[in-house]
Amino acid sequence: MNVFRLNPNYHILVTGGAGFIGSNLCEALLENGNQVTCLDNFATGKRENIAPFMEHSKFNLIEGDIRNLEDCQKACNEVDYTLHQAALGSVPRSINDPITSNDVNVSGFLNMLVAARDAKVKRFVYAASSSTYGDSKNMPKVEDIIGKPLSPYAITKYVNELYADVFSKTYGMETIGLRYFNVFGRRQDPNGAYAAVIPKFVLQLMRHESPVINGDGAYSRDFTYIDNVVQMNIRALVTENQEAINTVYNVAFGERTDLNELTTLLKEYLSTYDPKIAHVQNTYGPVRAGDVPHSLASVDKAKNLLGYEPKYDIKTGLKEAVAWYWENLRN
């Protein structure tokens, strides 16, 4: 993977580095020759995601919690840059347990900002969320026009942006927020009550089980393959454009796919491995509370200021993801 002009001498902290996105970032950075510290408490991250890195001479795991300031301070020690991915994701999870989501996503985020500030980290790049757009009807979503949040999770991610803005203005920190739009790809967990839709549907189809679609399948998302996300994180690290710093960006491909189209594509690609999958029928259930009907990003700002060039559309990304899942989930 081309990680552009990132200096291999830099030491980079990835919080949530054992998670889906975090482990892919760790992998890319190690391939580039960087020193990588991973901070994770394994609440949602998985040891198998970082198992290939554990013997790497430039990889260091700190098992800790961002809710503990001392853990954050230890992780930020002698670090050049921070990629903050640690969070409790999922709108339904936040509706069921708003207190824990707030503790991790807001208090934990603030701890990391303070630790990075005190350690004089050069730049703090963090995972923001498309959920920040809330009830905004604008399509496509443009960074400076948002609505009211529709879930506790969305509130926490918006508060992150507010805190980052205050820290950049008050303490002179360099921060960049990346509003992820429905990221998918290798290592994304298909199990559990809060599994994302693509790995969940893939696993169900591989078992010849009907995927349960919330609503009539017309809800749509700007599904974003993991390698596009890795590219954006690295571009946010390396940019020297002062206009590109202390702001937020959409991270997406810039096209939307509804859930009916998604399941059709998944069946098509999976049936090349198992023809029976093509005949699995969909099941339709109630709409989930807090769900936004449609999501589509404008990525013009990222292209103009960071040189973002998303390489993977939904079809290209799904073929890659399906191949990975078939190889890793059959047993």
Distance CA 104, CA 108 (A): 5
* Coil vs helix vs strand at 237: helix
Q: How many CB atoms lie within 10 A of CB 53?
A: 20
* Coil vs helix vs strand at 244: helix
Distance CA 62, CA 81 (A): 16
127: β partners: 178
Exposed, middle or buried: residue 147 (CB in 10 Å: 0-12, 13-18, 19+)? middle
Among 126, 133, 153, 312, the one annotated catalytic: 153
Is the Cα dihedral 98, 160, 47, 186 positive or negative?
A: positive
> Are 297 and 233 spatial neighbours (Cβ–Cβ below 8 Å)?
no
> Are 235 and 251 spatial neighbours (Cβ–Cβ below 8 Å)?
no
Distance CA 192, CA 200 (A): 9
Distance CA 313, CA 299 (A): 13
**Strands, E, within the chain: which ranges?**
11-15, 35-40, 59-63, 81-84, 123-129, 175-180, 183-184, 212-214, 220-221, 224-225, 247-251, 257-258, 283-285
225 is catalytic: no
| Catalytic residue ranges | 153
